[in-house]
């Protein structure tokens, strides 16, 4: 279960047809639920654990989870992008609940909440 | 289903590491030429760089030259590389790195503003956003981007590649892109062999699992000459996460040790550089330890300080964040216990090893109008990110010149119809028959054959003639089964083509491994029936060409040419 979506935090990027998380997945694994407007993971077994969807979500609604066969439960890794977009702070929580933080320089480019796709009607994005 | 017909001067298939740089280069050198990228995902985060990078691993640090680089790469690849290709790419490292730095990539510098070296060929970067940075440059250059269009085949008219056909995973439209020149930059192939992890971690691979050999397969189907598939890449990686080990081995100077604490590389492989032995030996060495009962094998990090351990974690967060979560979730502190390592599934790549299109120094393939760059191009190992950029630049220059002199070609409707039928067949099969083979089922079948008969991890990657002949026979049945593949939706249609493409790659790979009757790269291609390196007979490239009409794969050799003088088995 490499990526989970916290439905309480996901707002579907305000009705966006093509939200950033869907665009950033190199495996075409995220899609929009046409009934709820929220994001769904198509197949956890296809996830590469690369995290662009996690980092790009404005609501921090997508969380990376290590497959249980590889690591014990309750350890978490939460990236927080600084407002200035030139730093990212990774919050690392181990199985005992101890927190460690890593702040690293980067250059996050601004992303639009929606993006048109050539020759595609909005309905084609949904399931 | 609609057909979108697009005309573009230059078509680039694959908007990854090499493709984005190629697009920018064409637009800068030839502002009159239009450029279109056909990309199966979205170029902002597609391909190998999706997760980021923490180093540029092919760069000439102070004191190094293109010639010294060739000597090292030749040593690292056991004496056999295309020196013309490696020279021409290394001459462009500086140009490419400076360019991408200008676009905004943070590169670590000392107080004087010089890049901080990590070994002879590496510099450290904060490359978490490397892919969006180069994608933006491609877009800013005026490139037309077709996101979510999966390339299925070239359009070949009178032996010349005049564009390509693809389908959209968003709306099922067929894209017919007519081009004066085409650059293939789709990367290599993962998932040909059984992956290291199963169940919901099956894609916890080192190489991008969405790189499934499309560019190789399109070339194989069109009769392009391919080289060195038998030089599989089997990397030494961190156990379970399959994370790169260079960050640890080079970053903090960690030697390999076995379960007895012996530094086996330093003792048994001292004559070829110990822990600095050629890359295949750094996989072969630990495999022998495990085989002979001295596993597990580790990178010994117990000498590092807690600050160094933190720096190590920071470096992984820029490239492979799951490594850091793995340590936290398993209560592992790399400064207190050594890091266990294992070898990967065999990947077919042209950027670490040298499997791919046989190209000339201008990156022109053996097909007229087609150029290759990055992991899909053969003969030039040790490319990594910056070498892929350099090849994109070289291919762009030549493809641009070709496009200036050649016009569009009329494409027979029958050609498009034939590909349309082939490309969409799995969807129709589902509609008409329901019962059939899922892409995943064929993937597992392919991986089982390759794993058990063509040198998978279970047999320590070793191969012999008899096993390979079984693999050849079993693989031969798969193409007849393609007509039974069913796809319920467009995502599954993409998956169907991903496995079909890998079958073509696997068949070519088996022929290559059968043909090279020596062991040049222990670990990568260990033959138990020809255990030694044989420079007298095999100091040449093993190439293949599949006849598009009969499907027969013809094997041939091409001579090695030494350009840079010196002992081919010495790193300097």
Q: Are residues A26 and A79 in the same domain?
A: no
Yes or no: say if B178 and B163 are a contact pair by the CB < 8 Å rule. Answer: yes
Any idea where the domains of chain B sit in the sequence?
Answer: 3-51+131-233+347-410, 236-343, 414-558
Strand, coil or helix: B489: coil
Strand, coil or helix: B392: helix
Question: Has A48 been annotated as catalytic?
Answer: yes
B205 reaches A (C-beta below 8 A): yes
In order along its 572 residues, chain B shows pLDDT tens digits of 788 999 999 999 999 999 999 999 999 999 999 999 999 999 999 999 999 999 999 999 999 999 999 999 999 999 999 999 999 999 999 999 999 999 999 999 999 999 999 889 999 999 999 999 999 999 999 999 999 999 999 999 999 999 999 999 998 999 999 999 999 999 999 999 999 999 999 999 999 999 999 999 999 999 999 999 999 999 999 999 999 998 898 888 899 999 999 999 999 999 999 999 999 999 999 999 999 999 999 999 999 999 999 999 999 999 999 999 999 999 999 999 999 999 999 999 999 999 999 999 999 999 999 999 999 999 999 999 999 999 999 999 999 999 999 999 999 999 999 999 999 999 999 999 889 999 999 999 999 999 999 999 999 999 999 999 999 999 999 999 999 999 999 999 999 999 999 999 999 999 999 999 999 999 999 999 999 999 999 999 999 999 999 999 999 999 999 999 999 999 99
Q: Which residues of A touch B198 (CB under 8 A)?
A: 69
* A103 CB burial (10 A radius; 0-12, 13-18, 19+): exposed
Find, in chain A, the residue whose alpha carbon is nearest to that of B196.
A70
Chain A closest CA to B50's CA: distance in Å? 6
CA atoms of B481 and A122, how far apart (whole Å): 36
Tokens for B568? 């081919």
Q: Are residues A49 and A2 in the same domain?
A: yes
Q: Are residues A50 and A106 in the same domain?
A: no
Q: List C-alpha distances in Å: B390 to B92, B93, B239, B265, B375.
A: 6, 6, 32, 33, 12
Residue A92 β-bridge partners? A77, A100
Q: Are residues A3 and A44 in the same domain?
A: yes
B340 reaches A (C-beta below 8 A): no
B236-343 CATH: 3.90.700.10
A46 assigned to some structural domain: yes
Strand, coil or helix: A76: strand
B3-51+131-233+347-410 CATH: 3.50.50.60
CATH class held by domain B414-558? mainly alpha
A119 assigned to some structural domain: no
pLDDT digits (tens, 9 = 90+) for A25-67: 999 999 999 899 999 999 999 999 999 999 999 999 999 999 9
Tokens for A75? 């350890």
- Report pLDDT for A1: 61
A121 assigned to some structural domain: no
A67 assigned to some structural domain: yes
Q: What CATH number corresponds to the domain at position A24?
A: 3.30.70.20
CA atoms of B119 and B506, how far apart (whole Å): 35
B498 reaches A (C-beta below 8 A): no
Count of Cβ atoms closer than 10 Å to residue B384 Cβ: 22
Question: Structural domain of residue A91, as residue ranges?
Answer: 72-110
Yes or no: say if B274 and B265 are a contact pair by the CB < 8 Å rule. Answer: yes
Chain A closest CA to B25's CA: distance in Å? 22
- Report pLDDT for B343: 98
Find, in chain A, the residue whose alpha carbon is nearest to that of B150.
A28
Tokens for B286? 């630990």
Q: Are residues A48 and A76 in the same domain?
A: no
Which residues of chain B from 175 to 194 reach within 8 Å of chain A, CB to CB? Answer: none
* B411 CB burial (10 A radius; 0-12, 13-18, 19+): middle
Which of B397, B518, B488, B471 lies closest to B23 in space, CA to CA?
Answer: B397
Q: Do A51 and B321 lie within an 8 Å CB cutoff?
A: yes
CA atoms of B546 and B224, how far apart (whole Å): 7
Count of Cβ atoms closer than 10 Å to residue B473 Cβ: 12
CA atoms of A39 and B190, how far apart (whole Å): 27
Q: Are residues A53 and A30 in the same domain?
A: yes
CA atoms of B411 and A2, how far apart (whole Å): 45
Find, in chain A, the residue whose alpha carbon is nearest to that of B133.
A109
Q: Strand B35-38 vs strand B53-56: parallel, antiparallel, or unpaired?
A: unpaired
Q: Strand B540-546 vs strand B553-559: parallel, antiparallel, or unpaired?
A: antiparallel
Q: Which residues of A touch B204 (CB under 8 A)?
A: 2, 48-49, 67, 70
* H/E run at residue B26: helix B17-29
Q: List C-alpha distances in Å: B536 to B323, B514, B560, B569.
A: 44, 18, 12, 15
Q: Do B136 and A109 lie within an 8 Å CB cutoff?
A: yes
Catalytic pick among A4, A7, A48, A92: A48
Find, in chain A, the residue whose alpha carbon is nearest to that of B136.
A109
């Amino acid at each position: 279960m490499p990526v989970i979506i916290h439905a309480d935090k996901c707002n579907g990027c305000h009705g966006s047809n093509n939200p950033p998380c869907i665009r950033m997945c190199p495996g075409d694994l995220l899609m929009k639920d046409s009934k709820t407007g929220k994001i769904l993971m198509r197949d956890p077994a296809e996830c590469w654990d690369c995290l662009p969807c996690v980092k790009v979500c404005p609501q921090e609604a997508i969380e990376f989870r290590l497959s249980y066969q590889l690591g014990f439960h309750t350890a978490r890794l939460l990236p927080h992008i600084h407002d200035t977009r030139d730093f990212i702070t990774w919050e690392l929580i181990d199985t005992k609940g101890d927190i460690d933080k890593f702040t690293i320089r980067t250059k996050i480019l601004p992303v639009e909440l929606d993006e048109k796709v050539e020759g595609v009607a909005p309905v084609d994005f949904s399931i | 289903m609609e057909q979108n017909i697009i005309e573009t001067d230059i078509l680039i298939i694959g908007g990854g590491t090499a493709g984005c740089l190629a697009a920018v280069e064409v637009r800068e050198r030839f502002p009159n030429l239009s450029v279109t990228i056909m990309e199966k995902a979205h170029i902002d985060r597609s391909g190998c760089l999706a997760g980021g990078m923490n180093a540029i691993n092919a760069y000439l640090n102070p004191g190094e030259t293109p010639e010294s680089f060739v000597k090292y790469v030749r040593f690292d690849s056991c004496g056999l590389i295309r020196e013309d290709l490696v020279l021409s790419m290394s001459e462009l490292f500086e140009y490419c790195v400076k360019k991408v730095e200008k676009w905004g990539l943070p590169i670590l510098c000392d107080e004087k503003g010089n890049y901080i070296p990590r070994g002879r060929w590496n510099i450290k970067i904060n490359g978490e956003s490397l892919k969006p940075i180069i994608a933006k440059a491609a877009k800013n250059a005026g490139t037309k981007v077709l996101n979510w269009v999966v390339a299925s085949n070239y359009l070949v008219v009178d032996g010349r590649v005049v564009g390509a056909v693809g389908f959209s995973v968003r709306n099922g439209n067929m894209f017919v892109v007519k081009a004066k020149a085409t650059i293939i930059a789709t990367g290599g192939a993962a998932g040909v062999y059984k992956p290291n992890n199963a169940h919901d971690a099956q894609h916890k691979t080192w190489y991008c699992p969405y790189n499934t050999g499309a560019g190789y397969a399109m070339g194989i189907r069109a009769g392009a000459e391919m080289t060195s598939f038998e030089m599989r890449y089997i990397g030494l990686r961190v156990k379970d996460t399959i994370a790169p080990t260079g960050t640890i081995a080079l970053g903090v100077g960690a030697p390999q040790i076995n379960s007895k604490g012996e530094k086996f590389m330093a003792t048994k492989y001292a004559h070829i550089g110990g822990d600095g032995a050629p890359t295949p030996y750094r996989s072969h060495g630990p495999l022998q330890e495990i085989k002979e009962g001295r596993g597990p094998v580790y990178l010994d990090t117990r000498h590092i300080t807690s600050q160094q351990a933190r720096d190590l974690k920071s470096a992984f967060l820029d490239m492979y964040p799951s490594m850091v979560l793995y340590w936290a979730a398993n209560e592992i502190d790399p400064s207190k216990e050594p890091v266990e390592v294992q070898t990967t599934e065999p990947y077919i790549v042209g950027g670490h090893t040298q499997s791919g299109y046989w190209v000339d120094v201008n990156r022109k393939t053996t097909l007229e109008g087609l150029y290759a760059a990055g992991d899909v191009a053969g003969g030039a190992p040790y490319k990594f990110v910056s070498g892929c950029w350099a090849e994109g630049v070289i291919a762009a220059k030549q493809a641009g010149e070709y496009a200036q002199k050649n016009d569009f070609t009329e494409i027979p409707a029958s050609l498009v119809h034939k590909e349309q039928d082939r490309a969409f067949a799995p969807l129709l099969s589902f509609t008409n028959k329901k019962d059939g083979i899922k892409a995943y089922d064929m993937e597992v079948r392919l991986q089982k054959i390759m794993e058990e008969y063509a040198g998978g991890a279970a047999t320590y990657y070793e191969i012999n003639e008899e096993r390979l002949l079984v693999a050849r026979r079993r693989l031969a049945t798969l193409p007849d089964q393609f007509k039974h593949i069913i796809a319920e939706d467009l995502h599954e249609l993409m998956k169907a083509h991903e496995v079909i493409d890998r079958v073509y790659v696997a068949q070519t790979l088996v022929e290559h491994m059968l043909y090279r009757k020596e062991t040049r790269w222990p670990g990568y291609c260990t033959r138990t029936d020809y255990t030694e390196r044989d420079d007298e007979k095999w100091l040449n490239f093993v190439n293949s060409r599949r006849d598009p009409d009969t499907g027969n794969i013809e094997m041939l050799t091409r001579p090695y040419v030494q350009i840079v003088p010196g002992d081919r088995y010495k790193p300097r």
